[in-house]
Amino acid sequence: MLLKKIDVVELKDFVARRGLVRDVLRDVAGIPDEILDSPRREHPCPKCGGSTRCRLVDVDAGAVFCSHCGRNNGDFIATVRWALDDCDFAVALDAIAERVGFRPNEISAPPTLSRAASPESETVYSYFDAENVERWRVRRLDFADGRKTFRQERFENGGWVASLAVDPESGKKIVPVPYRLPEIRSFGVAEIYVVEGEKCADSLNDLFRSVGAPRVATTLAGGSNSAPNWAFAARYLPGALPVVVLADADEPGRKAAAKTFEILRREGRDVSVVEFAPPPTFRGKGFDVADWLADRRAEGLSAAEIFDAFERVVRPPEAAPEPRIAATVRALDEYEDRDFEWVWPGYIPSAGISLIGGEPGVGKSTFLAWFAATLSTGRPFPNEPTVEREPASVLLFRGEDDVSRVVKKKATQFEADLSKIVVFEEFVESGKLVPPSLQRLDALSAAIDATERKTGAPCRAIVVDPVSIAWGDGVDANKQADVRAVLRPLQIFVEERNLAAILVTHLRKSSSADKSSLKDRFYGSIDTLAAARVAYNLRALKTRPGYSEMRCAKSNCFDYRSVAALRWTLDDWGRLCVEFDDGANDGETNASPKRNEREERRGAALDWALRYFREYGEDVAGRGRAVRRGQFKASDEAVGIFGAAANEGLFTVSEIRRALQELNVDAWNRGREYFYSLPQD
């Protein structure tokens, strides 16, 4: 018996700080290891012999509960008293103090090492800010005796330090952003779930990913005590998305859910609360959605079956609306008249994708550097020399050109405001650097926000040169389904952000025999061209060395044939000099050389056919001047006028056939002999 009276608070602090709760439960209360090793699992009771009604319900406090013996929601001291047949309180304190070596005058001594003092495992939950940078984290430490503790840290001065940022409104130290913020802000999310604890959020997100559900679960650091902090963090939740609060099945969890509901409803959110009821055999506290998911997995259900069961809980059949189909139609006169908005009037539309294609070395990067420089300074474009605009920022995907040695020098050459041209190099996800991709619209949105904050100017354009660097993993640029899955969401995204997405690509190689149109020569699936609002072809002019040309190949903003072609060159001072094509056929358009050649061959074919009739034809009464074209109709290609042209290597069969049609030549036969007849003048 100890001589000095034991202070209960000092004893509990002594046991907890040294991690000796498990030792007290095992050695003083006689709780077997099978109960200590499996918190919340039902086991035979060591006191009354009940078969499956005893469990450790509070690992940190050391509270054991048995439904046969009666409720015991206290701590390890109450457990010791219960196990020792409700002994006196002082007797329980003495027994515990002797086991752990507690002396009233030694409570400030350094803690002794224990086999339960070191954590058995550690889980890190990372919190990212609005710029997708890891700024805070929560470390969960799990001990062998079932205890758990959480440590909150912030990244500062190149390392992790304890404590958190201070909320400027409440003065409290909190993590000021919701968990999984990048996924909350990602494109395509349809619903948000607010849970208690990062473990619950991760369990739900794993389920959503496995079935491809467009949903995300989030929480705030600090458990149920953090519910008031949604007054600050709610600003990061997209306002149009419904929010479902999943309450833990205990009093603190219900209070936290009610507080969260109250705050989000006050913010004008579409919010509801759902509680996952524990099974009848559960005797613990704090049953949550992670426990519910674990029970479903233990039943052997697949991910799809678990998701269906989850849906039935959060959307009970009786609460579901009656199934019906409703169609909405509007007449054209009900639509508001809207004009296209432009980043570069007449050439680069806002809220749309622009495609620029050309062979290597024709000046695509140079031209885009001039375009970015013009936007960054607010200088007028050549087709509107008297119109000046507010400077805007431009976001560049880091492409094939070296930024320091090429991109920056070209922008400097055109007197750009370099502070307003920003390069998107990579983003951070789960602590790892990931290259930017057009599939990750959440990261692109964060990059645009960061660009506008950094430059202090609105971002009007993103430039991807070439687009092949940003398709993302698993995308085949030649497959329509792959390309459509990337560019359709991108088009919606740029419409919402009201900016231009300029994608640069190469053209397929062509030969002299290639009869494909310019539209067909854009590299990749035809859906790349279809998704673009405008498409331009860039080429170097052979007849004007040093000049390049940009000509419209497709547009759904206007008649692309009416868009003036641009020609440009660099003067002696490195400035871009732009000329506009007035539309006249000067031999420099894409189609002019081929058109001239076809006209020449057409005329030559007509002359040759007339000479052939004069030399080899005979006058036939009522038929004009006729020439034999073969004994059988199938021999047209080898005998007669066709064969003669082919044998001389002058014209193709198609060219001769068109010439005969223009000469109004008639075909007729005499028995098995066939003729072409040229009418007499």
CB 540 within 8 A of CB 501: no
Report pLDDT for 219. Answer: 92
Give me the mean pLDDT over the 332-354 stretch.
Answer: 85
Give me the mean pLDDT over the 197-214 stretch.
Answer: 90
Q: Which of 126-140, 478-492, 594-608 has the lowest mean pLDDT?
A: 594-608
What is the per-residue pLDDT across 479-535, written as a single tens digit (0 to 9) for each? 888 888 889 889 989 988 999 999 998 887 664 444 455 566 677 778 888 888 898
12 and 71 co-located in one domain: yes
Name the domain boundary from 319, 350, 373.
319
Tell me, yes or no, whether 257 lies in a domain: yes
Name the domain boundary from 553, 580, 607.
580
Report pLDDT for 633. Answer: 44
Tell me, yes or no, whether 324 lies in a domain: no
Per-residue pLDDT for 556 more than 80? yes
79 and 163 co-located in one domain: no
74 and 15 co-located in one domain: yes
Report pLDDT for 520. Answer: 64
CB 550 within 8 A of CB 369: no
Tell me, yes or no, whether 335 lies in a domain: no
CB 247 within 8 A of CB 253: yes
Q: Any idea of the CA torsion for 308, 310, 315, 317, to the nearest 10 degrees?
A: 50
How far is residue 385's CA from residue 379's CA, in Å, rounded to a whole number?
9
Report pLDDT for 1. Answer: 35
Which residue in 549, 543, 542 sits closest to 569, CA to CA? Answer: 549
Task: Give the pair of three-digit tokens for residue 2.
Answer: 């100890």
Task: Please provide the average confidence, as pLDDT, over all residues in the chain.
Answer: 80
Q: What is the DSSP letter of 397?
A: E
CB 535 within 8 A of CB 353: no
Report pLDDT for 53. Answer: 65
Report pLDDT for 57. Answer: 67
Task: Give the pair of three-digit tokens for residue 46.
Answer: 């060591």
Count of other CB atoms within 10 angstroms of residue 259:
18
184 and 132 co-located in one domain: yes
How far is residue 20's CA from residue 14's CA, in Å, rounded to a whole number?
9
Tell me, yes or no, whether 468 lies in a domain: yes
533 and 412 co-located in one domain: yes
Report pLDDT for 112. Answer: 42
Residues 6+ apart with CB under 8 A from 243: 191, 192, 193, 194, 237, 264, 269, 270, 271, 272
What is the per-residue pLDDT across 219-244, written as a single tens digit (0 to 9) for each? 998 888 888 888 888 888 887 789 99
How far is residue 67's CA from residue 516's CA, in Å, rounded to a whole number?
82
Q: What is the DSSP letter of 43?
A: B
pTM of the model: 0.43
Pairwise pLDDT comparison (348 vs 323), residue with the higher score: 348
Residue 12 vs residues 16, 20, 56, 104: alpha-carbon distances, Å: 6, 10, 18, 12
CATH number, domain at 236? 3.40.1360.10
Residue 438 vs residues 132, 288, 369, 442, 489: alpha-carbon distances, Å: 16, 37, 21, 10, 9
90 and 144 co-located in one domain: no
Give me the mean pLDDT over the 274-292 stretch.
Answer: 81
CB 663 within 8 A of CB 610: yes
Question: In 242-400, which ranges are E strands?
Answer: 243-247, 271-275, 342-344, 348-349, 352-358, 393-397
Tell me, yes or no, whether 336 lies in a domain: no
Residues 6+ apart with CB under 8 A from 119: 141, 142, 143
Q: Any idea of the CA torsion for 320, 242, 290, 254, to the nearest 10 degrees?
A: -90
> 650-675: buried (b, 16+ CB within 10 Å) or exposed (e) per residue?
ebeeebbebbbeebebeeeeeeeebb
> What angle do the packed helices 653-662 and 592-616 form, to 10 degrees?
70
Task: Give the pair of three-digit tokens for residue 122.
Answer: 């550690």
Which residue in 643, 644, 612, 617 sits closest to 628, CA to CA? Answer: 617
Contacts 24+ apart (CB under 8 A), 273-281: 273/244, 273/245, 273/246, 273/247, 274/244, 274/245, 274/246, 274/247, 274/313, 274/314, 275/246, 275/247, 275/248, 275/249, 276/246, 276/249, 276/313, 277/249, 278/249, 281/42, 281/52
How far is residue 26's CA from residue 34's CA, in Å, rounded to a whole number?
10
Q: Which domain holds residue 156?
A: 119-319
Residues 6+ apart with CB under 8 A from 303: 207, 210, 211
How far is residue 336's CA from residue 322's CA, in Å, rounded to a whole number?
33
Count of other CB atoms within 10 angstroms of residue 681:
5
Report pLDDT for 631. Answer: 46
464 and 369 co-located in one domain: yes
Q: Which of 183-187, 314-318, 342-346, 607-611 has the lowest mean pLDDT?
A: 314-318
Name the domain boundary from 580, 612, 635.
580
Per-residue pLDDT for 571 more than 90? no
91 and 228 co-located in one domain: no
Tell me, yes or no, whether 197 lies in a domain: yes
Count up the domains in the chain and report the number.
4
Tell me, yes or no, whether 2 lies in a domain: no
510 and 563 co-located in one domain: yes
How many residues in the chain?
A: 681
188 and 258 co-located in one domain: yes
Give me the mean pLDDT over the 110-114 stretch.
Answer: 41
472 and 492 co-located in one domain: yes
Helix (H) / strand (E) element for 535: namely: strand 534-540
Report pLDDT for 451. Answer: 93
Backbone φ, ψ for residue 242 (5° rounding): -70, 150
Percent pLDDT > 70 in the chain is 82
Task: Tell me the pLDDT band of 35, cut-offs 50, 70 and 90.
Answer: confident
DSSP bridge partners of 675: 628, 668
Task: Give the pair of three-digit tokens for residue 474.
Answer: 């698993």
Which residue in 175, 538, 586, 170 sits closest to 347, CA to CA? Answer: 538
483 and 406 co-located in one domain: yes
Tell me, yes or no, whether 325 lies in a domain: no
- Exposed, middle or buried, 569 (CB in 10 Å: 0-12/13-18/19+)? middle
Per-residue pLDDT for 145 more than 80? no
Tell how strand 673-678 and strand 624-630 pair up.
antiparallel
DSSP string, 429-485: ETTEEE---TT-HHHHHHHHHHHHHHHSS-EEEEEESSGGGGS-TT--TT-HHHHHH
Helix-, strand-, coil-residue percentages of the chain, each rounded to 5: 35, 25, 40
Q: Which of 26-35, 88-97, 320-329 has the lowest mean pLDDT?
A: 320-329
